[in-house]
A and B are shown apart, each in its own frame.
Chain A
Amino acid sequence: MNPRKYFKVYIKFLHTSIASELEYKTNILIDLITSILSLIGSIFLLSIFFQNDGSIAGWKFEQALIIQGIYTILNGITNTWFNPNLTEIVKHIREGTLDFVLLKPIDSQFFISLKKINPSGFLEIMLGFLLLVYCIRINQVDLNLSFLILSLITISCSICILYSLWFFVSTTTIWFVKTWNATEVLRSFLYIGRFPLNSFSLYLRIFFSVFIPIAFITTIPSEVFLGLAQLWKILLEVIVAMVFLITSRKFWLFALKFYTSASS
């Protein structure tokens, strides 16, 4: 592992994929409109839930907006990095081009996870940040150092968990080959992350904290914003993120043993 080499390779990845994406300039504009509309739509949906009384499961509308903001940022990250790269794994395995990846003198997980970038996701990340800044104002969050550090930690842990989930699902293609739609299932489950976890019934809450830890992804960072998160929850999130990262790495190396090339 030579970090400088990987850094240099990553700059090259960025260069090539941004150049190829800029071929479709109108697409980027359409994607911008799409992400704005999508944010308006989800706030609209949220306002329907809150139209009669001021709170749902202890969350006020302004507080629930924080979850929306964090979700938007994470969704932007998914669209920028995870989605374009990890759906590509399916293609690599189907067409047998994973051979070329494995032959390169570079870590295969690194190559496969960071090769491509979709710049239109940046806009969504920015929209999410704007919403969060607005939320910080209307909720009068006090911006001290410990808040900044804790929110940074929890959001980075969320990104790690999200990445591991995507990577985990994509890795299963090595056995099943045709699982385009498995990522679709994950996507629809992640949709739940737009709402506070305790607005669901107990069974779903358990399901979404144990099997697919969506609870950790958006709810805990939002609680940090509101100053409600207990320390044990934050620690738990860090541990969960570590476990997910390490397991997904191990799972990838394990799955590679079963890789039998195709059509070559």
Chain B
Amino acid sequence: MISNFNSHKIFTLLKVQYANMLEYRVEIALWAISGIIPFFMLNIWTNNNLNESINISDVMLSRYFLCAFFVRQFSVVWVVFSFEEDSLMGKLSPYLIQPLNPFFRYFAQHVAEQITRLPFALIIAFFFFIFNPESIWIPNLGILFLSTISTFLSFLIQFLIQSIVACLCFWTEKASSIERLLFIPTLFLSGLLAPVASFPKYVKSWVYFTPFPYLIDFPANLLSGNATNVFVGIAIQILWIVFLFPVFRKIWSAGKKKYTAMGS
């Protein structure tokens, strides 16, 4: 009964947010375009034959970067910016009264945005294949399923990390600068700009102990068919989630007590 009620709530939230997101189609399209940096990077790699040193063929590399683009598209998180605004403007107060953790609302927002974004990402992929016809491939259903799961897990890890940062708003008011700080290692170590396989040894030795390679590099390798260990990767992703979730719970319940409704 309770779970039925909850799934109803989540479904309604998703429906409302999807309708809301459809209003912002142009914005989301622009956002999708702003994610094409991996393609520029690919251009540098292949145009200068840099891939020879890391033993990845041109075709595999272009598939990798296309997949990195996709994984990034469906794991973008911006909860800290919404939360900061809501918290500073006092909009959080009505949400707190409702019998629903406000983060469910943000979560639904993100998922709805991803659904809205899907067609734009597909259009960009279509153009990518027009320019790189030799890299067309169709991943088999099992791989597609597993990589969808690992992309979603990557989204969950980033959502949890950002939610923890967002909760710092209760203490510092401007938590988005901490998020910008965390974004730098995410950008350079996640494999968005260069596959982790190409990193020098002194970085490779420790980077797998951080969550970053599991955000983009692992799901992108999985989807593009590059060598990777599926089950170990997914297990580590789940481990990070299991580790981060209680941290979030703790900081949220501690932060709630600090909340002073500003501006209302």
- Indicate whether A and B interact: yes
A259 within 8 A of partner (CB): no
Using Cβ atoms and an 8 Å threshold, which residues of chain B touch A26?
A: 172
Min CB distance, B26 to chain A, in Å? 7
B180 within 8 A of partner (CB): yes
A24-B187 contact, Cβ under 8 Å, with A45-B194, A181-B34, A204-B43: no
Cβ-defined partner of A199 (8 Å) among B47, B53, B174, B180: B47
Min CB distance, A187 to chain B, in Å? 7
Using Cβ atoms and an 8 Å threshold, which residues of chain A touch B178?
A: 30
Is A188 touching B184 in the complex (CB atoms < 8 A)?
no
Bound complex: CA of A163 vs CA of B40, how far in Å?
Answer: 23
A48-B194 contact, Cβ under 8 Å, with A181-B31, A184-B30, A185-B30: yes
Is A187 touching B34 in the complex (CB atoms < 8 A)?
yes
B177 within 8 A of partner (CB): yes
CB 8 Å contact bits of B138-177 with A (1 = contact, 0 = none): 0000000000000000000000000000000000111001
A17 within 8 A of partner (CB): no
Min CB distance, B125 to chain A, in Å? 17
Number of B interface residues in the complex (CB < 8 A): 36
Identify which of residues 36-61 in chain A touch chain B, using a CB-to-CB cut-off of 8 Å: 37-38, 41-42, 44-45, 47-49, 51-52, 56-57
Bound complex: CA of A195 vs CA of B200, how far in Å?
Answer: 20
Min CB distance, A94 to chain B, in Å? 12
Number of A interface residues in the complex (CB < 8 A): 37
Bound complex: CA of A180 vs CA of B24, how far in Å?
Answer: 11
A188-B35 contact, Cβ under 8 Å, with A30-B181, A52-B50: yes
Bound complex: CA of A169 vs CA of B220, how far in Å?
Answer: 32
Using Cβ atoms and an 8 Å threshold, which residues of chain A touch B43?
A: 200-201, 204
Identify which of residues 28-84 in chain B touch chain A, using a CB-to-CB cut-off of 8 Å: 28, 30-31, 33-37, 40, 43-44, 47-48, 50, 52-53
Min CB distance, A57 to chain B, in Å? 6
Interface residues of A (CB under 8 A from B): 24, 26-27, 30-31, 33-34, 37-38, 41-42, 44-45, 47-49, 51-52, 56-57, 176, 178-182, 184-185, 187-188, 191-192, 195, 199-201, 204
22 residue pairs of the A-B complex, CB under 8 angstroms, read A27-B174, A34-B177, A37-B181, A38-B184, A47-B200, A48-B198, A48-B199, A48-B200, A51-B198, A51-B200, A52-B50, A56-B44, A56-B50, A179-B26, A179-B30, A181-B27, A181-B30, A184-B30, A191-B40, A199-B48, A200-B40, A201-B47
Interface residues of B (CB under 8 A from A): 24, 26-28, 30-31, 33-37, 40, 43-44, 47-48, 50, 52-53, 172-174, 177-178, 180-181, 184-185, 187-188, 193-194, 198-200, 203
